[in-house]
Amino acid sequence: MIATAKDLRFNINMLFDVLSKGEDVTITYRGKPKAKLVSTEKSHLEKSDSLFGLWKDRDEDVDAMVRDMRKGRNFDI
């Protein structure tokens, strides 16, 4: 949810209700995002990232593989 600084000042109870439902709130000031309110309830609902550590069993260097993939292609015609 996006809320203005004025909403933060005058409607804080509404923002607390949104946070209690697990939604994050971005506070804007003059149209630009300045702060983010993060729900503490959400942290209990989040599941762990199943892809984290996917290549931990491999011997290859991931950084070297990414560097090789980013190299430009050289087509000799």
In this structure, is residue 72 part of a structural domain? no
The number of folded domains in the chain is 1
The token pair at 73 is 């292609």
- 31: domain range? 1-42
CATH number at residue 12: 3.40.1620
* 19-60: pLDDT as tens digits: 888 888 999 999 999 999 888 865 544 556 666 777 677 787
In this structure, is residue 66 part of a structural domain? no
In this structure, is residue 38 part of a structural domain? yes
In this structure, is residue 4 part of a structural domain? yes
Interval 48-74 mean pLDDT = 76
Asked whether residue 9 carries a pLDDT value surpassing 80, the answer given is yes
In this structure, is residue 49 part of a structural domain? no
The secondary structure of 12-58, three-state, reads HHHHHHHHHCCCCEEEEECCEEEEEECCCCHHHHCCCCCCCCCCCCC
In this structure, is residue 20 part of a structural domain? yes
Asked whether residue 13 carries a pLDDT value surpassing 60, the answer given is yes
How far, in Å, are 2, 64, 67, 77 from residue 74 at the CA level?
Answer: 47, 19, 15, 10
16 versus 56: which is more confidently predicted?
A: 16
